[in-house]
Each structure stands twice: as structure tokens, then as C-alpha cells.
Amino acid sequence: MPNVQPFESYAEKIKDANLSRTLEDNCTPFSVLKFFIDDNMVAEVIAQSEKFARDLEKKNSTLKFAKFSTDEFWTFMGLHLLMGIQKLPEMRNYWSENPLLNCPIFKEKMSRNRFLEILRNLHFSDNEFPNPNNRFWKLGTFFPDLIAKFRAAINPGEFLSADESFVGYKGRLAFKQYIPSKRCRFGIKLFVLVDVDTNFVLHVIAYQGKKTQLLGETTNLGFGGAAVFTLLEDHFFKNHRVTTDSWFISPNLASILLQHGTFLIGTARKTRKNMPKMKGKIPKGSAETYSTENILVERFSSQINFVKYNVKQNLFF
């Protein structure tokens, strides 16, 4: 949750009474985290991890895994978060005796061998029931439950934003992306829907190539348009105004969202299908307007600043 504004400014957007109480009564980052990752979700992770460990024991009797408790799960997760704050060359370095690398809290909370043992056996789903149509099946019900918790927690405001996000990752992964223009070039691409007023994540879709989970009725929108339409599935007919960039936007997307009681705003590419035909350049500081019954397109010269941003794509819905 963002900290830039006091809770009072978000109170009217809170839909879940339990979240409202969590934010008001002795609110801590851990209490907010436990609201979204509840005891049932943790119990499922523990059960699947222990089942995987038992399966390994059957193959190799030397691999013994002690019972995995809820407190131990949160300790393990907390140490993982600390590794993102204080970065060392190797995971084992966090338990090193070298004074240049020493991190006492890791030794105090959990032994190195136990941490690596949990990491080796950590599982979210049952390997006996794979889903070939969803590469995220390894996350089991954890990821869908987490997104559902976010979606149900607040009343979104008028303005929503749909965009892509990139999570850095260099390990072995079938759907890992390589985007040379990004600062972190290797990782997982996500399509994210956010409430503009609170920066609260409402929905996330993981990019999986052809297996990306998108609505089937969006075949005429292109991949980007279909991603936006799927993100908004639970927010139709509420008069939301959705902002996005030129990779997603098109007249077809604007039309179908309007049919679902949702408005679209953003920059567009003039090469998109059904865009108005535009010839030549326009003088500096001027604009051209194109419209149909339901869609307005403004063409600006590249020298105009629109809402404090220099519009390099010279079209605006």
C-alpha cells in the first residue's frame, strides 16, 4: 500500500471491512501483507511443500524434511525480502563469518541449511496435476487467490491505468522475455491494471506467449488490446476512464470498451486499423481533430506539451 497520503484519503475506496480495520488499528507492513496472504493460502503452500518433500524422500531416503510451520514460513519470506534490500554475491554469503559479508539477523532467525532446505522444497501446487494450457500452474491457487484479494479490497476510482510491468529474472524459464531497451533486460512481462488515485493493483496477467490467459472474444483487438480488455473484465459498466499507451490502444478497443460502459484515453499510432487517414505534417503549435459518433482523435504537432508530457506519438484519443 502507498504511504504518500494519509489513510483518510483512501477510506471511501475501501470495500473490505477487514482491510479497513487492518489499516486503522496498529497498522504495520506485516499486518497488511497478512491480510492479502491469509492463513489459508499459507497452509496450502505448507501442505504442497511437505507433499513435494515426501515425494523426494521416496526417491532418496537421505533427504529428510522437518515439519514446516506457519511461523517458519513467514521467517523464510522475511529473510527473502531482506536479501532484496542487502544484496550479496551468493545466497550462502548471508550466513558467512566474513566480517565484510556478515548479516547477523540471518543466523539468529534461521540456519543456512534449513533455509536452503525450505527453498529446495517450496511448492505451491501438486506436480501430479499439471495444466499444459497455463505455464503459471506451478503457482497453484496462490496467484489467483492473491489477485482476487486485491480486486475485492477497494472500490476503484474514476481513473484506471493499464500498462505493462517487467520483473527482472535471469534464471531458466520458458516464458522469460528479453527486452534490450529495458534497464533489466531479462525477466517476466506482466500486464497490470492500477487504480490511479491509490496506486492499488487491481489485476495482473502474466505474459506467456500464445498461452497468455486472455478472453477469447477479443481476437480483433490485437494482443495489446485483448490484454487491456481482459484486465478490465470485472470493471465494465462503471464509467471508468482507462489510460494506456500506444502499444495497447486502437479504435477497435475504444469502440468495444464503450459498448461495455468504459472510456479509453491515451496516445495512439496512426498505423492502427480504422484510424483516420492523415497526410503530411502539420504546422508547429497546431492540431487537427478527427471524430466519429463515439470516438475523438486529436493530432498534435510534436512541439505541443499535453498534460506536462511531450507527446512523441502525435495522436491522442
Q: What is the mean pLDDT of each run of 10 residues along the chain (317 residues)?
A: 52 85 83 92 95 90 86 95 91 92 92 94 92 87 92 92 90 85 87 93 90 76 91 93 92 92 90 84 83 85 44 42
pLDDT at 71: 94
- Smallest CA-to-CA distance from 316 within 241, 246, 232, 224 is with 246
Packed helices 70-85 and 112-121: angle between N→C axes, nearest 10 degrees = 100
pLDDT at 310: 33
Instruction: Name every residue whose Cβ is closer than 8 Å to that of residue 111 and which is 6 or more positions away in sequence.
Output: 95
Considering the domain boundaries, does residue 132 fall inside one?
no
- All three cell numbers of 212, joined, read 497468455
pTM: 0.83
Considering the domain boundaries, does residue 48 fall inside one?
yes
- All three cell numbers of 23, joined, read 489499516
pLDDT at 303: 44
* One-letter amino acid for residue 304 of the chain: I
Burial of 231 (0-12, 13-18, 19+ CB in 10 A): buried
- In the chain, how long is the greatest CA-to-CA distance? 78
Same domain? 28 vs 65: no
Locate all alpha helices (DSSP H) within the chain, ordered by sequence.
Answer: 17-24, 29-36, 39-59, 70-85, 104-109, 112-121, 142-153, 222-231, 251-259
Same domain? 162 vs 310: yes
Q: How many CA atoms lie within 13 A of 304 on its CB side?
A: 17
pLDDT at 10: 64
Please list, residue by residue across 173-209, b when 16 or more beta carbons sit within 10 angstroms of its beta carbon and e when fewer do: eeeebeeeeeeeebbbbbbbbbbbbbebbbbbbbbbe
Same domain? 164 vs 74: no
CA dist 37 → 33, 74, 80, 142 (Å):
6, 10, 16, 9
Considering the domain boundaries, does residue 139 fall inside one?
no
Say if residues 229 and 218 touch (Cβ distance below 8 Å).
yes
pLDDT at 317: 52
| Strand, coil or helix: 277 | coil
pLDDT at 201: 93
Same domain? 242 vs 310: yes
DSSP secondary structure letter of residue 99: T
Q: Could you give the number of structural domains in the chain? A: 3
pLDDT at 131: 87
pLDDT at 6: 53
Same domain? 312 vs 243: yes
Q: Which residue carries 502499444 as its cell? A: 247
3-class secondary structure per residue, 82-96 = HHHHCCCCCHHHHHC
Considering the domain boundaries, does residue 2 fall inside one?
no
* One-letter amino acid for residue 237 of the chain: F
Pairing mode, strands 186-195 and 200-206: antiparallel
Say if residues 125 and 145 touch (Cβ distance below 8 Å).
no
Considering the domain boundaries, does residue 230 fall inside one?
yes
pLDDT at 305: 40
Considering the domain boundaries, does residue 138 fall inside one?
no
Domain that holds residue 47: 39-121
Distance separating alpha carbons of residues 33 and 38, to the nearest angstrom:
8
Same domain? 108 vs 167: no
